[in-house]
Amino acid sequence: MNSRTHSRLLVLHVMVGALLLVLVGRMWVLQVAQGEEYQAIAANNRTRDIVVPAIRGSILDDAGRPLVRNRTALVISVDKTALGRQPDQGKTVLARLAGVLGTTPEQLELKTRLCSPTVPRPCWPGSPYQPIPVDDRASAKEGLQILERPEDFDGVIAQVQAVREYPEPEGASAAQTLGYLQPVTQEELDKREGLKVTGYSGVDLIGRDGLEASYDADLRGEPGVRRVNVDARGRVTGVASEEEAVPGSHLVTNLDAKVQAAVEDALAEQVAAVKKIGGDPAAAGVVLEVETGKVVALASYPTYDPKVWTGGISQAEYDALLGPKRGEPLISRAIAGQFPPGSTFKISSLAAAVADGYSLNGIYPCPGSYNVGSRAFTNFRSTPYPPMSLHRAIVVSCDTIFYRFAYEEWIRDGSTKPVPDPKDPMIKMARVFGFGTRTGIDLPGEAPGRIPDRDWKKSYWESTKEIDCKRAKTGYPEIKDTGHAAYLTAIAKENCLEGHMWRAGDAANFSVGQGNVLVTPLQLARAYAAVANGGTLVVPQVAKAVVRPDGTVVREIKPERGTRLQVDKKTLDYMRKALAAVTTEGTAAGVFGGFPMDKVHVAGKTGTAEAYGYKDTAWFASFAPAKNPRYAVVAMVTDAGTGGTYAAPAVRKIYEAIYGFGDEPAALENGEIPAKLPKVG
């Protein structure tokens, strides 16, 4: 053997030896250094994790009556991913499933397609990787057909689970306050780390509105995990381990089902009356405990049945809930509806005038009209009265006294050329009463209302001047009423030239809750509660406590401490006495005739606000008993008429229900809401 051959064999031996060393080293790494890691991976190939849904907690009223609870249902779901792996994309399976469920393959296709801006309902708004529920009311016979023939229903899941139910205790719905559930979206899954998904309503449905959304984390609970052994074909051969699900907690609220039902019934009666005269009304009602801000009732019209979300929703149903055709029933007018408050706003304007130097005990003229600049502003129906006190001005609702206050303050502030840092006493006092800001209620979607001022007026003018200037030239030829068209054209010309200015008419309208002033019924109820309780602006609170299913109290939800009104105590005392006289000798005396004032004296104020293109918005804001106030009650009905005709009757019926002055027993025993938590278990 020559030297060249010997050298080549030597190199080959070295290479083979090196490769063997590398192989031995790699085997040592796999079996020793990383042995535990790869052992776990191998075990995972033989096991599967199944997320076990937690039962969602119930929502209860202050006496423990269920406003929302769960019912047991057999739910049929479809795994879109599993169907997609089949040769025909699961069409054969869907056809078999349709036959079992008594529907059509086309309907199942619609329910299992993914929602998008261009895809109408029904569709699936959740994650594409979740099993999609297609029937939540399947019978045992239908479920057995699926479970006994898994080879024919690959990708179909049948499982008993909890589905939301709305029992309406005492006839109370509270739909907008309770809220609703919808499937979790992929975007939410991406944002919410640790959210376990099963495809079943107990886990994948999350609160979209109302209390269901605000307290979703408490109601949801913690899903469990069951790890099962599977064979090579994926069939379960046993349970390796199991972590049990933790049921969600119950939410006890300050709502009282009997009072809630009374508010809903009272509003429904007034809405029916308005419809008889051709109106197309919306309505809202609020009952607050004046000392704490506890929300005893919160109602809105039009309303809807929250069961519509269970088991999917059609496009027609979806459009009806969101569109204006049926009045957008998803919106809670009580917290998100914004309306001019009319004369109910005068509590703020009176406090502002007194703080600005007008005598609380003075006598003021109340003519039928008062010239604000070159325009006459009138009382309701231009009714003149003899000179009167501020007490009497509240009782009979004299507007011209407040127009005068506002106009004189506007002049002192420099009129259209304001002095540096104008006082604007009525605007500032309105903010002191909480108008123009959210109350902080524990519900999503609350509106702030609007307190217009000089900056707002300028900003609004900049956004609308183009169309105003165009209308100043073209007029309103489409309006047949020539007088009204001429009026609108004159307004357009005025707005085009000087719409950025805070004018005398703006100040006058502001003083009586008209013009661009907007409030929510909840804001108004809170303001009247502040007058009633001596000057504390409470924070409204719906929830009362979170309680475990075994009755253990997780936490009590105490109302937040309110801020003090910067209003003199003498002024508040004066207003309480004036408001108490409204129902005995003022604008609401006719409505409260025969009411047992010796037992519960109701104090309040009517409001009638003009709304362009509609009949007046009717208001009545109140508290009772007048000498020792417990509750503030507000009712509002749009497209109606005067507050004394269409809102005050609703408030009377609510008080009659609370104290048992009608045919039914008192909704609240001794007129008091329960102090203790109900027994839950």
Q: What is the pLDDT of residues 207-242, one digit of tens each?
A: 889 999 999 999 988 877 777 676 655 555 677 787
Q: At residue 652, does pLDDT exceed 70?
A: yes
Looking at the chain, the whole-number percentage of residues with pLDDT higher than 90 is: 62
**Range with the largest mean pLDDT of 160-169, 170-179, 194-203:** 170-179
Backbone angles phi, psi at 544, to 5 degrees: -115, -40
Domain end: 229, 250, 271, which one?
A: 250
Distance between CA atoms of residues 403 and 297, nearest Å = 35
Tokens linked to 598: 């010796």
- Tens-place pLDDT, residues 169-179: 999 999 999 99
The sign of the dihedral angle between the CA atoms of 157, 143, 248, 306 is positive
404 and 515 share one domain: yes
Q: Are residues 294 and 164 in the same domain?
A: no
Q: What is the pLDDT of residue 415?
A: 94
pLDDT at 41 over 70: no
Question: For residues 206 and 618, which has the higher predicted lDDT (pLDDT)?
Answer: 618
436 versus 101: the higher-pLDDT residue is 436
Please give the Cα distance from 201 to 310 (Å, whole number): 9
Please identify, among 250, 272, 295, the residue that sits at the C-terminal boundary of a domain.
250
Q: What's the pLDDT tens digit per position in 445-496?
A: 999 999 999 999 999 999 999 999 999 999 999 988 888 888 889 889 989 9
Tokens of 538: 């409470």
Provide Rg for the chain, Cα atoms.
33
Residues 240 and 273 in one domain: no
* Single-letter amino acid, residue 527: A
Percentage of the chain beyond pLDDT 70 is 88
Say whether 647 sits in a helix, a strand or coil: coil
What is the structure's pLDDT at 198?
47
The reported pLDDT for the residue numbered 229 is 74
**Is residue 373 a contact partner of residue 506, using CB atoms and an 8 Å limit?**
no
Of 148, 159, 210, 248, the residue nearest 334 (C-alpha): 210
How far from 136 is each of 123, 508, 680, CA to CA, in Å? Answer: 15, 58, 27
| pLDDT at residue 201, rounded to an integer | 36
Query: What is the rounded distance in angstroms from the CA atom of residue 163 to the CA atom of residue 75?
Result: 9
Considering the chain, what is the average pLDDT of its residues?
Answer: 88
Q: What are phi and psi of 195, to 5 degrees?
A: -75, 110
CATH value at residue 588? 3.40.710.10
> Looking at the 3D structure of the chain, how many domains does it have?
2
Least confident of 194-198, 331-335, 450-454: 194-198
Classified as helix, coil or strand, 488 is: helix
Both 520 and 439 in one domain: the answer is: yes
Based on the fold, state whether residues 246 and 276 are members of the same structural domain: no
**If pLDDT is split at 50, 70 and 90, which confidence band does 336 have?**
very high
Residues 197, 313 within the same domain: no
Confidence band for 199, pLDDT divided at 50, 70 and 90: very low
Residue 603: closest CA among 298, 433, 439, 394:
394
Is the pLDDT at 363 greater than 90, yes or no?
A: yes
Give the number of other CB atoms < 10 A from CB of residue 337: 22
Quick check: 3 pLDDT over 80? no
Distance CA 650, CA 633 (A): 10
Report the C-alpha gap between 395 and 337 in whole angstroms: 27
Tell me the pLDDT band of 187, cut-offs 50, 70 and 90.
Answer: low
| Domain that includes residue 185, residue range | 48-250
Under a CB-based contact definition with an 8 Å cutoff, are residues 54 and 247 in contact? yes
pLDDT (0 to 100) of residue 575? 98
DSSP characters over 413-469: TTTTSPPSS---HHHHHHHHTTTTS----SSTT----B---HHHHHHHHHHHHHHHH
- What pLDDT is attached to residue 202? 37
CATH number at residue 209: 3.90.1310.10
CB 362 within 8 A of CB 628: no
Cα distance between residue 668 and residue 287, in whole Å: 13
**Residues 335 and 224 placed together within one structural domain of the fold:** no
For the segment 6-12, the average pLDDT, to the nearest whole number, is 69
Q: Which token pair is 524?
A: 């108004």
Quote the pLDDT of residue 190.
Answer: 62
